[in-house]
Structure 1
Amino acid sequence: MPLSDDILDLIEHETTEAQTLLRTLAAALPRSVEAHLLLATSHLRRLEFSQAMTVFQETLKLDPGNDKALRNIAFCLLSMGDREGALAAFHRAFAAASGASPLRYIALLSHRLGRVDEAIQAYERLLANGQSSSPEIPFAQQGLAAALRDAGRPIDADHQVRNLMERFRREPLTIASGLVARNNSEDFHEWSHYADKSRLAAALTARQAVDSAGRFPESFVLPRDRLALVAFAAGPSAPPLYIVKPVRSSGGQGIEVAADLADTLDRDDVVVQRYLDRPYLVEGCKGHCRIYGLITSADPLRAYVYSEGIVRIAPEPYAPTADRPGGVAMHITNTALHLDHPGLTISQDPTQDDVGSVRSLTALLRRMTADGLDGEAAFGEIKALMEWFVRLLAADGLFARQAAGSPPRAYPHKLFGLDVLIDSDGHPWLIEMQRTPAARGQPLVERINGEMYATLFRMAQAPLIDDSTSADLAQRLRADDATRRTCEAEIEMAQRGRFVPLDLQDPLAGPR
């Protein structure tokens, strides 16, 4: 019986437990390729790329031609920012097994390294030899169109765009959501830094010291901030509850709510935050909002916030007391943690956006207004919070480093998520950043995200020259990349749908 039957599910939902089990299993079965592959996969799930690569390398010693290990070593190098090393590793993977996936990565990395002609040749080879049903084809068409525009060949690029648009017309949700998911996993590697809760907490704290516009709970990374946490807990602003989060967990895994920090202070793998104990309640239950941000250009920086979102609500009424703080079903709003809870109700009707445990942001803001708060003002504050976060990334140099050394179209549009909690006064608080928000989900999620993904596709995929283009403009589009980039930005704005442009003027930089 394959070891992976149950363990892959454990890796997805109980990563820490799975990793402990797999270390023991790999030690007990030192010649098992499968045990090593699963252990490495658990490290990938926790964004521990260096550790994952070490285990994949150990797998190759057991099975030198293992395709999965070869490809994942290359992916780890890519995720760690070693583009040259990743390109060489994907060449090795392609030499061992001439698959479409390593060839597309060879094209992708060649483009990012500025070797545009090599990228075009690799993409064209894939499209010429690949099966039309291959899942790699849409990503190759997207990548080839971008490389051709960077090479100054807009007519050829438009041909690839039209081919991709035809696929989108036949399978809109599959093509659009697939592109978003893959683009997010292949983004500029520094995005993973902010998915690490300890790095995010440090970045938020440092930014607020110079730009106080952002609202997020006081956060302490253990063991580094132990003394500061002890002082905070003894001070006048000490909250009744704290939330304790494993540094590299996701989906609510391993989160605890505690009134007493005695058992937490000696830990070295968690972030401790002041618990926001006065949340806005929906029918007596706590919820959080998934807010979507979009980066369409690193230089010049262009970004948006989506005016719709997903609200997830805990299955038990929120009623903590000093002696009974309550369990995860009261405090933690990730629906994946509560699938067997009788209080979790999810409508199968995607048009119902204000019932059950999964709702829309629009419905939440409407309900807030009915409760005497100002839903419109709350969204204005959500937009301002997104602007503050994107300014943080810009100040940290993420966008400048992404743009340096790569052609302008080497990285596709980047979608990310902010998890936001609304307090009882109607103010949003930034809780976490989601580098790769889930593409699919419950019926309402499918409807909301499906509309958003279709918008994303139209913003990014459109021919620059058609029958309505004047001869003069067509000539300038063929000859001048600045004109092409201006046209791309105009298409993006015209097709933005519910994406709201962000004002990214940094208040620290003074007037324009």
Structure 2
Amino acid sequence: MPLTADILDMIEHDTGEAQVMLRRLADAMPKSVEARTLLATSHLRRLEFDKALVHFREALELDPKNDEALRNTAFCLLASGDIEAALPAFEHAFKILAGAGSLRFIALLKHRLGRVDEAIADYERLLSKCQPTSQEIPYALQGLAAALRDAGRPLAADHHTRALVERFRREPMQVASALVARNNSDDFHEWSPYADKSRLAEMLTARQAVDPAGRFPETFVLPKDRKTLQAFAKGPDAPALYIVKPVRGSGGQGIEVTADLASALTRDDVVVQRYIDRPYLIEGRKGHCRIYCLVTSAEPLRAYVYSEGIVRIAPELYDASPDRGGGPSMHVTNTALHLDHPGLDISQDAKQDDVGSIRSLSALLRRMTADGLDGEKAFGEIKALVEWVVRMIAAEGLFARQAASGPARGFPPKLFGMDVLIDEEGHPWLIEMQRTPAARGAPLVERINGEMYVTSFRMAQAPLIEDTTPPDLAEALRADDGARRRREAEMELANRGKFVPLDL
């Protein structure tokens, strides 16, 4: 009897409980491929690639032609950074099932390994196999154009870029959003730690010690920081409240706000953070901002912050008095956690950006100014906070290692999210990062994200040489990759829309 979709929902929203149940199920059903692929998926959801790989391989022992296990075995190797092993795994999956997705990964990985001519041939093969309506075509066109530019063939690259732009003109939102989602999935594997709250906290805490410009509340990873947290809780700077978060939770699941650390101190799977108990309130309610950063080049480093964003607001009035208590509906601002709460008010009009539980960043900044704060200054501090994070990532060496790992155009632009809380004085605090921020949501969310995705497409996808290009420039672009890179940067900047360049 097939396992139900409820398990997939549990994996998404309560991964720890799902893993316990699925381990028991896999033991009780040793011949069940489905039990093992679901168990592997639960580890994949927690970015535990080595453990996921074990269970996907167990599934393949039972069913060597299982599509999901074949593809995800290769993906786990890729996500772990083992490109040399991931390529033959995708080649094996393609040999067994001839899937277009596997062939696209084969081309992508050959590009990253510097086997550019082979990558071009595989992308061309993929395009020849695809039906005109195939969802793989935009990804193949993007990858092929990038590989051709790296091969020094800009005119051929422009031919495929024009085909991609033509598809974009017919379906701008669909093409742009699909490419952003795929590019985030195909990013450099070292982005994974930024989705792990414990590893992120360790990196941010270390960065703050050498560069204190960024606002990030004191955060402790248990069990490693148990004694440090106990000492902090007894010190003069101890806060009235703490927020306790599962290391790999999402959507606000499992978050607890407490004045008593006794329970948290016994746990080994959480981060404990000083709770910012004096937030800027929107009509008496707490909210947080989703801020977006787009990294377009690792070497030289170029990145932008989007000047629009999304504000999510808790459904209950805020009161942080220790005797008041208050549950998640007061303290936790993730909309997905409160879908059944009567106080949640989500407008179905995408043009309304200053009503209900989901609003725009620009509406928040206007409201702050009307309340006597300085919205323009607040955005300037948000930009500075994003710059602080990107400098941290650079100092960790991610961009240098990405640039050294293969041709630059083998890695598409990277969009990531930051969850930021504004305090009552108008200062932004970094709370979390989102390696792959969600694209879908309420009408306002989809409007803001859709406009951003369309802009990011225009920044990255444009022919380098047109009929109107001056002959001397056209010749330079054909002959010199440095000229092509400068032209790409110029076009990126010219089409940036609401993206603001970071000062790095």
Match of 1:131 in 2: 131
Match of 2:104 in 1: 104
Asked if structure 2 preserves the Cα contact closer than 8 Å seen for 1:309 and 1:361, the reply is yes
Match of 2:152 in 1: 152
- The answer on 1:239 being equivalent to 2:239 is yes
Compute the TM-score of the two structures, normalised by the length of structure 2: 0.99
Match of 2:422 in 1: 422
- The whole-number CA distance in structure 2 between the counterparts of 1:407 and 1:494 is 24
Of stretches 156-165 and 33-42 in structure 1, the one that deviates more from structure 2 is 33-42
- State the 1:500 CA deviation: 0.3
- The whole-number CA distance in structure 1 between the counterparts of 2:60 and 2:481 is 45
Match of 2:339 in 1: 339
Structure 2: gaps of 5 or more residues: none
Q: Deviations over 1:64-87 (max 9, x none)?
A: 221110110100011010011111
- The whole-number CA distance in structure 2 between the counterparts of 1:5 and 1:383 is 41
- State the 1:17 CA deviation: 2.1
Amino acid at match of 1:415: L
Amino acid at match of 2:364: L
- The whole-number CA distance in structure 2 between the counterparts of 1:379 and 1:176 is 26
SS at match of 1:265: helix
- The whole-number CA distance in structure 2 between the counterparts of 1:27 and 1:204 is 40
Compute the TM-score of the two structures, normalised by the length of structure 1: 0.97
- The answer on 1:474 being equivalent to 2:474 is yes
- State the 1:339 CA deviation: 0.6
Of stretches 15-24 and 493-502 in structure 1, the one that deviates more from structure 2 is 15-24
- State the 1:144 CA deviation: 0.3
- State the 1:241 CA deviation: 0.7
Amino acid at match of 1:131: Q
- State the 1:156 CA deviation: 0.5
Amino acid at match of 1:113: L
Asked if structure 2 preserves the Cα contact closer than 8 Å seen for 1:422 and 1:428, the reply is yes
SS at match of 1:250: coil
- The whole-number CA distance in structure 2 between the counterparts of 1:408 and 1:64 is 35
Identity within the alignment, %:
74
Asked if structure 2 preserves the Cα contact closer than 8 Å seen for 1:40 and 1:55, the reply is yes
Q: Deviations over 1:450-498 (max 9, x none)?
A: 1111100000000000111011111111110000000000000000000
- The whole-number CA distance in structure 1 between the counterparts of 2:17 and 2:171 is 38
Amino acid at match of 2:428: P
Match of 2:399 in 1: 399
- The whole-number CA distance in structure 2 between the counterparts of 1:420 and 1:271 is 17
Aligned residues: 504
For residues 360-439 of structure 1, what are the structure 2 equivalents within 5 Å? 360-439=360-439
For residues 433-448 of structure 1, what are the structure 2 equivalents within 5 Å? 433-448=433-448
SS at match of 1:287: strand
SS at match of 1:491: helix
Amino acid at match of 2:250: S
Match of 2:262 in 1: 262
- The whole-number CA distance in structure 2 between the counterparts of 1:173 and 1:453 is 7
- The whole-number CA distance in structure 2 between the counterparts of 1:350 and 1:2 is 39
- The whole-number CA distance in structure 1 between the counterparts of 2:87 and 2:211 is 39
- The whole-number CA distance in structure 2 between the counterparts of 1:249 and 1:180 is 23
Asked if structure 2 preserves the Cα contact closer than 8 Å seen for 1:286 and 1:317, the reply is yes
- The answer on 1:487 being equivalent to 2:469 is no
- State the 1:35 CA deviation: 1.1
Q: Deviations over 1:411-447 (max 9, x none)?
A: 0110000000000110000000100001121100111
- The whole-number CA distance in structure 1 between the counterparts of 2:364 and 2:14 is 30
Q: Deviations over 1:215-267 (max 9, x none)?
A: 01000001111110000000011111111111111111211111101111121
- The whole-number CA distance in structure 1 between the counterparts of 2:254 and 2:46 is 13
Q: Deviations over 1:246-291 (max 9, x none)?
A: 1111111211111101111121111100001101111111000000
- The whole-number CA distance in structure 1 between the counterparts of 2:462 and 2:128 is 22
Amino acid at match of 1:364: L
- The whole-number CA distance in structure 2 between the counterparts of 1:179 and 1:4 is 30
- The whole-number CA distance in structure 1 between the counterparts of 2:415 and 2:358 is 21
Of stretches 81-90 and 16-25 in structure 1, the one that deviates more from structure 2 is 16-25
Asked if structure 2 preserves the Cα contact closer than 8 Å seen for 1:287 and 1:312, the reply is yes
- The whole-number CA distance in structure 1 between the counterparts of 2:77 and 2:323 is 49
- The answer on 1:280 being equivalent to 2:280 is yes
Asked if structure 2 preserves the Cα contact closer than 8 Å seen for 1:365 and 1:378, the reply is yes
- State the 1:2 CA deviation: 2.7
Match of 2:87 in 1: 87
Amino acid at match of 1:204: L
Match of 1:44 in 2: 44
Match of 1:510 in 2: none
Asked if structure 2 preserves the Cα contact closer than 8 Å seen for 1:350 and 1:444, the reply is yes
Tell me how large the CA RMSD over aligned residues is. Answer: 0.9
Structure 1: gaps of 5 or more residues: 505-512
Match of 1:357 in 2: 357
- The whole-number CA distance in structure 1 between the counterparts of 2:4 and 2:127 is 33
- State the 1:36 CA deviation: 1.1
For residues 47-66 of structure 1, what are the structure 2 equivalents within 5 Å? 47-66=47-66
